[in-house]
Chains A and B, each alone.
Chain A
Amino acid sequence: MEINNIRLPHNKGTEKAETITIPLPKRVKILLSQHMGVPCLPLVKSGDKVFVGQKIGDIDAFMSTPVHSSVSGTVEAIVDYLPANGRTCKAIVIESDGLQKASDEVKPPKITDTKSFLKAVRESGCCGLGGAGFPTHVKLTFDKEKTPVDTLVINGAECEPYITSDYREMVENSQDIYDGIKLLQKYLDIERAFICIEDNKPLAIEKLTKISENDDKVSVKKLASSYPQGAEKVTTYAATKRVVKEGELPLNQGVLVVNVSTVGFINRYINNGMPLVEKRVTIDGDAILTPCNARVLIGTPISSVLDFADCNKEIVDKLIAGGPMMGMCIHDFETPVCKTNNAFLGFKKPKKKEEQTNCIRCSRCISACPMKLMPTSIEKAYDRKDKAWLKKLKVNLCMNCGSCSYVCPAKRDLAEKNQLAKRLLAEK
């Protein structure tokens, strides 16, 4: 069986762009909720002196991960902030002193067993760097008795157009990725590991194949460059032919899926103790003059990132955090960079607006849906608020990959309707 997929224009013009560090911003704004789960509480107060890598926010909850200062300087204020997801959280504003002095807290963690390894992962502030932002230590915590995980899938598919930040990680830090995989295999006792890379990234495939060639427990899997190859359930199936059932995680099928950049970061943290304070992002789009891959500090305003890539903000009509298929629109240029960001795309106003017309029942959405849902039927059921039928159509399985909206010749917002339908079902 082949999973339904679509072919997108790759537009990976930045794949050859080596990562460059952008100038130190004067001020950073670090959100206390950059991950799924419980937001952190501030550990510092206005006027405090902080250093790079110092923990400035944490909470005593499992489903959470701490945040760290990305600059050395002085805490200016702790403010309320409304991020794109609409959930207000606290943010710590720090004025940089320009010295970038590392905190005394930054030292390689002592790791002796699984427990100390997981604790270190939590302390690193790591969350899923593919974009979902799931706290990594939570993902790595499982009961080997109940869920016998035998396969580690390292997700390097990067199927979204434009984005090349994971690709650059694979090319520039291939050793970190390999060593990170060995750490996970060692401390989580996972027999085999597959590094899954789409076949439009031959250099990454070559590098990682070479590094792992003498290791029969780690192998590179070349996947077709189709969308959404990097979606967890799709990657799991492509690598292992195991079907993650409704309501299950890949863990239930014995598979642990971790993003390449995440695993590379974990290795660096274990070696040097510097928590997650910077992120590689791809800056691209038709409103960007110099598309590039940039290493940016968490909390940097996006406007500085765009300035670095020579972007005339006047002509930007749409600013997207993430890829064009699943990314989220940013409404404010001063939005700070978060741990989960992997790209910022600036687009000019399209020449002509495409209007929505009637569904012609062409069934392209049905052929495109990787979950084999029927978006056109879901749309009709949602419009008449038919909860029972929506349940039967399994709209809850939609992962919002956007393939249905993409292929629709009538330009209908099918993916959006799916999300609304999911919310309707969640209502009581």
Chain B
Amino acid sequence: MEKLAVSSSPHIKAPMTTSKIMTQVLIALIPAGIAATVIFGGRALILIGFCVAFSVIWEKLFSVVTKRKDTTDDLSAVVTGLLLAYNLPVTIPLWMAGIGTFVAIIIVKQLFGGIGQNFANPAITGRIVLMLSFPSAMTTWAEPFYYSAKDVVTGATPLVTGDATYKELFLGTIGGSLGETCSLALIIGGIYLMARNIIKPYAPAAFLGTIMVFSFIAGKDPIYQLLSGGIILAAFFMITDYVTAPVTDIGKVIFGIGCGVITCVIRFYGGKAEGASYAILLMNILVPYIDMVTSSTPFGAKKAEKIKEGEK
């Protein structure tokens, strides 16, 4: 007879796994992908496929070179590739997108220890590096449905021109990055994630609320500010990233408010039209401190004694 297995309790585990969570996020991102393909044509699909493929390839390559366990089956690289693609203009040369995936996967994620260990959001940081390196390619916005016209027509985003209608903003028939223009598709995805209990509403609500209030005080149109640029994508898919956001509910609220305030400051008073990416990266750095000050008070706990210096 074989020996009986011995392990510590509990002996049952919930069916949820990291890859199942990532699958849910991917499902939630499908509507935005469909919208991007409809609005920006077949090249959107090519760009998405390229970014996803290269994200996975980089991660596999890294595991081979460093002789570490291959973690690509957790699907987080697929999510990162998809999110990065959604943050790029449809006309960007593929090699630039390739650099973006390299920065996101290798530099931001793997070099810090792989999934769960990175302090900054890989897709956001990839986008920022591309923006600083190739500012003109990253701000060449194709007009929606350009593919049915003879030449590629480019223009500024509505965030700069300020002349789009609410309907255009909501449906995404405007210039902008691949996956961020169609607010409707992103909101569907966000609601799906909340309904599936993958994300909590705290950070998105705080983020969106802060932007509305700030815009109103600054004399801007709150709805216009919400629906233009990458706000909705950021609200449901960027600031809700588990790894780079605080772990407590109150921490998530603080994080959302912080992202909202910095976004607005950059938008209204800074040199960039779009501030959400920088806001998220800045707030990512603060996450360990937010976690520290918002740690929960245990049930029935007496006040913790002050930790004395050097007592370890």
Task: Tell whether, in the assembled complex, residue B300 and residue A402 are in contact, meaning their CB atoms are under 8 Å apart.
Answer: no
* Interfacial chain B residues near A389, Cβ < 8 Å: 307
Query: Is there an interface contact between A358 and B113, defined as CB atoms closer than 8 Å?
Result: yes
Of the listed stretches A12-20, A108-116, A361-369, name the one at the interface; the rest are far from the partner chain: A361-369
Q: How far is the CA of A391 from the CA of B311 in the complex (A)?
A: 11
Contacts of A419 in B (CB 8 A): 8
Which of B5, B20, B243, B305 is in CB contact (< 8 Å) with A409? Answer: B20
List B1-18 residues whose CB lies under 8 Å from chain A: 1-14, 16-18
By a CB distance below 8 angstroms, the chain A residues around B9 are 324-328, 400, 402, 405, 415
Contact (Cβ within 8 A) A248 B116: no
A406 / chain B contacts, CB cutoff of 8 Å: 10, 12-14
**In the complex where A362-B21, A405-B13, A415-B8 touch, is A248 in contact with B300 (Cβ < 8 A)?**
yes
Report Cα–Cα, A376/B305, bound state, in Å.
21
State whether the Cβ of A183 lies closer than 8 Å to any Cβ in chain B.
no
With CB as the reference atom, state the residue of chain A lying closest to B21. Answer: A409
Q: Contact between A397 and B298 (Cβ–Cβ < 8 Å)?
A: yes
CB of A247 within 8 Å of the partner chain: yes
B209 at the interface (CB under 8 A from A): no
Given contacts A325-B9, A397-B298, contact A387 B312 (CB under 8 A): yes
Mark the stretch among A29-37, A65-73, A311-319 that contacts chain B.
A311-319
Asked whether, in the complex, the Cβ of B13 is within 8 Å of the Cβ of A357, the reply is no
Q: Does A80 make an interface contact (CB < 8 A)?
A: no
- Give the distance in Å from the alpha carbon of A415 to the alpha carbon of B7 in the complex: 12
**Cα of A132 to Cα of B243 in the assembled complex, Å:** 38
Q: Which of B31-39, B188-196, B225-233, B289-297 contacts A (4 or more CB under 8 A)?
A: B289-297
Residues of chain B within 8 A of A392, CB atoms compared: 295, 304, 307
Contact check: which of A3, A247, A317, A374 meets B295 at CB < 8 Å?
A374
Comparing A47-55, A207-215, A238-246, A290-298, the segment that makes contact with chain B is A238-246
**B74 at the A interface (CB under 8 A):** yes
Neighbour of A325 across the interface among B2, B12, B307, B308, CB < 8 A = B12
The answer to whether B18 touches A313 (Cβ under 8 A) is no
Q: Are B304 and A361 in contact (CB under 8 A)?
A: no
Q: In the complex the two chains form, what is the Cα distance from A400 to B117 in whole Å?
A: 27
Q: Is the CB of A318 within 8 A of B21?
A: no
Q: Chain A: interface secondary structure?
A: loop
The answer to whether B299 touches A357, judged by C-beta atoms less than 8 angstroms apart, is no
With A and B bound together, what is the CA distance between A345 and B11 in angstroms?
11
B: number of interface residues (CB 8 Å): 47
Which residue in chain A gives the minimum CB-CB distance to B115? Answer: A358
- Docked-complex contact A332 and B4, CB < 8 angstroms: yes
Whole-angstrom distance from the CB of B283 to the nearest CB of chain A? 15
Q: How far is the CB of A329 from chain B (nearest CB, A)?
A: 4
Which residues of B are found within 8 Å of A416, using beta-carbon distances? Answer: 8
In residues 385-428 of chain A, which contact B (Cβ within 8 Å)? Answer: 386-389, 391-394, 397, 400, 402-403, 405-411, 413, 415-416, 419
Query: Which residues on the A side are within 8 Å of B291 (C-beta)?
Result: 377
- Check A415 against B298 for contact (C-beta < 8 Å): no
Q: A366-B247, A409-B20 are in contact. Are A246 and B6 (CB under 8 A)?
A: no
Interface residue? B49 (CB, 8 A)? no
Contacts of A329 in B (CB 8 A): 4-7, 11
In the bound complex, residues from chain A placing their C-beta under 8 Å from that of B2 are 314, 317
A interface list, Cβ under 8 A from B: 3, 6, 8, 161, 233, 243-248, 313-314, 316-320, 324-333, 345, 347, 349, 354, 357-364, 366, 370-374, 376-377, 386-389, 391-394, 397, 400, 402-403, 405-411, 413, 415-416, 419
The 27 sampled A-B contact pairs (Cβ below 8 Å) are A8-B12, A161-B12, A233-B300, A246-B298, A317-B4, A320-B11, A324-B11, A324-B12, A327-B11, A333-B4, A354-B13, A357-B74, A358-B113, A359-B116, A360-B76, A361-B242, A361-B247, A363-B247, A364-B16, A374-B247, A388-B311, A392-B295, A400-B9, A406-B12, A407-B14, A409-B14, A416-B8
Beyond the given A387-B312, A405-B10, A408-B14, please list 17 additional residue pairs across the A-B interface where CB-CB is below 8 A.
A314-B1, A318-B5, A325-B9, A325-B10, A325-B11, A347-B11, A360-B18, A361-B247, A362-B21, A376-B247, A402-B9, A407-B16, A409-B20, A410-B17, A410-B116, A411-B13, A415-B10
